[in-house]
């Protein structure tokens, strides 16, 4: 036995560059890795100036519920309803910031979404802003507020500018009056365009959301919406697919009651293919598989959220990420308010990401970003991800979903249309590779 061990040690010590397996000594005392001689000054600034936070705030109230909407929302029935919610929200900001010592972390981006944040009254809006400034380090972040054309006005633009807002995201979805009506919305296409132009003329960065695949949509109505959005000249166009989730009125009408016909999957692909081609040929660059920008505009909130930066969630039902834990706040307003009133952080569920999970999340979300590089993944995780999932990469490249460039994977025009499919294919391949060590996943 001793002779066999000695032969093993000698054999290993002769291996080029090997340090493990040499004859045992007491000459070393290991307290760190890598060894100190490899340490440099490259990341000094990263340590002394910690990565900034992003903040999401959810305002769940609407004047009506859109038939396609699956987000947590409630109809606003009284001023008291909003007022009490803002009281709780501001108390939550104080509670969470103090609990996790967030005051000294710079805030890179704030996003107020909903629901319909443009329902906020002036005092309510400024109360949120003042509370954020009191409990966070806020110095010229990107600051987005979502708005709905029917609840928007020039007066609100003045508040937003005074409160530090830099970006308005207008939930248009369609510029065709009949499509808007079938979605159970109250404004018109003309009102939507007027609101968009109002934002642009004042000088805000502006975004238009469009939804492909709404009830009643035809290629003619879709072309009208895409053309109108392009002609508006906004900084960014965001084009989502309308997903028919089971908690929506569309699902109830189209699936449970068979009262409504929605565009087929093939029709929706044709809508999106037309939009991508038209937008890319009209002075917009692809920023992600569903976002298109002018003049190299970068949307800080989405970029940092996708890359897994610390993401603080405020408000009922909001999602966040802190360290390696992703979480969601209570999605029932009553329960959310009770938890905050009792001094509890109002989290309802969470998941601790393993090192494997972090890598898979990165591939799933970031390969849809046109700013993402293989070097970025390698710096974080020590692997060239293309080498880890070579078969999937070759297949997607052969089928014209991706191209391999100097920066790593880039989506083709076809890949832009099917961006989530590409992300899932790559992430699934990576998951299979990482599962070869027989340490199973919990999902």
> Whole-angstrom Cα distance, residue 72 to residue 90?
19
Domain co-membership, 119 together with 198: yes
Buried b (16+ CB within 10 A) or exposed e, 69-107: bebbbeebeeeeebeebbebbbebbebbbeeeebeebeb
Which pLDDT tens digits describe the chain residue by residue (443 residues)? 445 444 444 444 444 444 556 788 888 788 888 888 889 888 888 777 778 899 999 999 998 888 888 887 888 899 999 999 999 999 999 999 999 999 989 999 999 999 999 999 999 999 999 999 999 999 999 999 999 998 999 899 999 999 999 999 999 999 999 999 999 988 999 999 999 999 988 889 999 999 999 999 999 999 999 999 999 999 999 999 998 888 888 888 888 898 888 999 999 999 999 999 999 999 999 999 999 999 888 899 999 999 999 999 999 999 999 999 999 999 999 999 999 999 999 999 999 999 999 999 999 999 999 989 999 999 999 999 999 999 999 999 999 999 998 889 999 999 999 999 999 999 999 999 998 887 777 77
**Same domain, yes or no: 172 and 40:** no
Residues 6+ apart with CB under 8 A from 22: 9, 12, 13
Domain of 378?
Answer: 356-437
Asked if 62 and 112 sit in the same domain, the reply is yes
Judge whether 368 lies within some domain. yes
Contact predicate 272/356, CB 8 Å: no
**119: nearest Cα among 77, 89, 87:** 77
CATH at 90: 3.20.20.70
235 and 144 assigned to the same domain: yes
Residues 136 and 223 reside in one and the same domain = yes
Task: Could you list the beta-strand ranges (E) of 47-130.
Answer: 53-59, 61-62, 74-75, 107-114
**CA-based Rg of the chain, rounded to a whole angstrom?**
25
pLDDT digits (tens, 9 = 90+) for 32-65: 888 888 898 888 887 777 788 999 999 999 988 8
How many domains are contained in the chain? 3
Where a domain ends, among 278, 305, 332? 305
Is 204 among the domain residues? yes
C-alpha span between 60 and 315 (Å, rounded) = 8
CA trace torsion 418, 419, 423, 424 (10° rounding): -40
Q: How far apart are CA 275 and CA 242, in angstroms?
A: 14
Give me the phi and psi of 77, to 5 degrees please. -105, -20
97 CB contacts (<8 Å, ≥6 apart)?
Answer: 103, 135, 136
pLDDT at 15: 42
On whether both 130 and 25 belong to a single domain, the answer is no
Q: Please give the Cα distance from 369 to 185 (Å, whole number).
A: 31
Q: Looking at the domain assignment, is residue 328 inside a domain?
A: no
What is the pLDDT, as a whole number, of residue 350? 97
User: Which CATH number does the domain housing residue 388 bear?
Assistant: 1.10.10.920
Structure-token pair, residue 81: 């309803």
Does 296 map to a domain? yes
Query: Residue 19: what pLDDT?
Result: 56
pLDDT, tens digit (0-9, with 9 covering 90-100), for 417-443: 999 999 999 999 999 999 888 777 777
Asked whether residue 21 falls in the same domain as residue 65, the answer is: no
């Amino acid at each position: 036995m001793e002779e066999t061990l000695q032969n093993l040690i000698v054999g290993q010590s002769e291996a080029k560059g090997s340090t493990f397996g040499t004859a045992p000594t007491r000459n070393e005392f290991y307290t760190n890795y890598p060894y100190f001689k490899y340490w440099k000054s490259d990341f000094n600034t990263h340590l002394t100036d910690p990565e900034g936070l992003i903040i999401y705030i959810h305002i769940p109230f609407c004047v009506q519920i859109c038939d396609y909407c699956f987000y947590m929302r409630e109809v606003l029935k009284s001023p008291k309803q909003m007022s009490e919610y803002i009281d709780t929200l501001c108390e939550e900001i104080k509670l969470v910031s103090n609990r996790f010592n967030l005051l000294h972390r710079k805030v890179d981006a704030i996003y107020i979404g909903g629901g319909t944040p443009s329902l906020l009254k002036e005092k309510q809006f400024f109360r949120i802003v003042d509370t954020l400034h009191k409990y966070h380090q806020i110095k010229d972040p990107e600051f987005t507020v979502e708005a709905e054309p029917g609840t928007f006005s020039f007066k609100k633009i003045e508040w937003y500018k005074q409160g530090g807002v830099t970006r308005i995201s207008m939930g248009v979805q369609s510029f065709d009056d009949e499509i808007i009506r079938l979605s159970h919305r109250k404004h018109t296409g003309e009102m939507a365009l007027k609101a968009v132009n109002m934002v642009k003329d004042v000088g805000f960065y502006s975004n238009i959301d469009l939804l492909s695949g709404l009830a009643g949509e035809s290629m003619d109505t879709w072309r009208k919406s895409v053309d109108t959005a392009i002609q508006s000249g906004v900084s960014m166009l965001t084009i989502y697919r309308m997903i028919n989730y089971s908690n929506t009125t569309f699902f109830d009408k189209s699936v449970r009651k068979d009262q409504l016909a929605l565009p087929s999957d093939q029709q929706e692909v044709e809508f999106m293919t037309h939009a991508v081609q038209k937008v890319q040929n009209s002075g917009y660059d692809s920023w992600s598989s569903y976002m298109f920008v002018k003049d190299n505009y970068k949307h800080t909130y989405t970029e940092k959220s996708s890359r897994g930066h610390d993401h603080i969630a405020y408000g009922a039902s909001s999602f966040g990420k802190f360290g390696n834990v992703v979480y969601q706040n209570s999605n029932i307003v009553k329960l959310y308010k009770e938890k905050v009133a009792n001094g509890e952080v109002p989290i309802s569920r969470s998941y601790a990401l393993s090192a494997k999970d972090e890598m898979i999340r990165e591939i799933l979300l970031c390969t849809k970003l046109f700013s993402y590089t293989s070097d970025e993944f390698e710096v974080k995780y020590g692997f060239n991800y293309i080498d880890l999932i070579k078969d999937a990469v070759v297949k997607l490249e052969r089928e014209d979903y991706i191209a391999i460039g100097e920066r790593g994977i880039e989506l083709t025009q076809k890949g832009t249309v099917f961006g989530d499919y590409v992300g899932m294919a790559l992430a699934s391949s990576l998951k299979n590779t990482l599962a070869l060590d027989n340490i199973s996943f919990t999902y």
